């Protein structure tokens, strides 16, 4: 047997071994994988407004919005996101949409915790509250041009046009059917 015949035998053996390894990995992938249930969200992952439909500038002033028009105007931290509708009077805010956990507002940003804050309100009374749920990077409300970090677990009243920062980067302005903080503090 000469050298070239020996070389071809080695090449064929290596090819057969490579093919057997591929089949083995394929077989392992099929047999060891547990089927995961497909879970479809019952709502949008990130509430969005179609491009060109949002004409509200970030400095828009509307002192008395109509009931049912509550929303958060995104000032920064969520590229491509202009505003987020407020889905109800009691819901969670977090990084991912999860109706099972009552997280109905998703802010896909690294410094926003999975369950970051809770929003509670009563439109009839015009009272709205935000509670930080011990998030990693905190929640802050702007008062007198300074952000004040919320104490985790403690409800903080928020007013129409309040600016809130979630985590390090996401900043929103709440548009609520209530008086502004400035109007309440003047009384």
Verify that 86 and 27 share a domain, yes or no.
no
4 and 93 assigned to the same domain: no
Contacts of 163 (CB under 8 A, 6+ apart): 75, 141, 142, 171, 172, 173, 174
**41-71 pLDDT per residue, tens:** 555 555 444 444 444 445 544 444 444 578 8
Q: What is the pLDDT of residue 116?
A: 94
Q: What is the pLDDT of residue 86?
A: 86
181 within 8 A of 187, measured Cβ to Cβ: no
- Supply the range of the domain harboring residue 101: 71-186
- pLDDT reported for residue 49: 44
On whether residue 100 sits in a domain, the answer given is: yes
Q: Look at residue 174 and tell me if it is in a domain.
A: yes
CATH number of the domain within which 177 lies: 2.60.200.20
Model pLDDT for residues 147-181, shown as the tens digit of each residue: 999 999 999 999 889 999 999 889 999 888 888 88
């Amino acid at each position: 047997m000469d050298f070239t015949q020996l070389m071809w035998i080695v090449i064929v053996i290596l090819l057969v071994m490579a093919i057997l390894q591929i089949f083995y990995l394929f077989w392992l992938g099929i047999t060891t994988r547990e089927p995961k249930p497909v879970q479809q969200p019952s709502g949008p992952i990130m509430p969005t407004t179609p491009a060109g439909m949002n004409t509200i500038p970030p400095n828009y002033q509307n002192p008395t919005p109509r009931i049912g028009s509550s929303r958060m105007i995104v000032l920064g931290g969520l590229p491509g996101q202009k505003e987020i509708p407020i889905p109800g009077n009691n819901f969670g805010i977090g990084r991912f949409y999860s109706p099972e956990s009552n997280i109905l507002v998703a802010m896909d940003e690294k410094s926003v915790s999975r369950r970051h804050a809770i929003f509670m309100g009563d439109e009839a009374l015009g009272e709205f509250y935000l509670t930080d749920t011990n998030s990693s990077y905190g929640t802050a409300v702007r008062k007198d041009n300074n952000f004040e970090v919320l104490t985790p677990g403690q409800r903080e009243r928020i007013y129409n046009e309040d600016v809130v920062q979630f985590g390090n980067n996401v900043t929103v302005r709440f548009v609520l059917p209530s008086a502004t903080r400035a109007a309440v503090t003047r009384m």
